[in-house]
Amino acid sequence: MKLERRVALITGAGSGIGRGSALMFAREGARIAVADIDEASAAETARQIKEQGGEALAIGADVGNPEHAQAMVEAALRRWGAIDILYNNAATEGPICFAAQITIEQFDRVIGVNLRGTWLAMKYALPAMMEKRRGSILNVSSLAGLKATPGGAAYVASKFAVIGITQAVAIEYGKYNIRANCIIPGWIETPMVHRLFGAALPQSSVTAPPLRRIGQPQDVAKAALFLVSDDADYITGTVFTVDGGINAGDHGP
Would you name the residues annotated as active-site residues? 155
Element housing 191 (H / E): helix 191-197
CA distance 184 to 207: 16
Query: Going by DSSP bridges, is the β-strand pair 56-60/7-11 parallel, antiparallel, or unpaired?
Result: unpaired
DSSP β-bridge partners for residue 60: 36
CA distance 186 to 197: 13
CA distance 225 to 222: 5
To 5 degrees, how large is the angle CA 67–CA 13–CA 193?
A: 115
142 Cβ contact partners less than 8 Å away, ≥ 6 residues apart? 91, 155, 159, 184, 185
Strand, coil or helix: what is 135?
Answer: strand
Asked if 45 contacts 11 with a C-beta cutoff of 8 angstroms, the reply is no
CA distance 155 to 161: 10
CA distance 69 to 60: 10
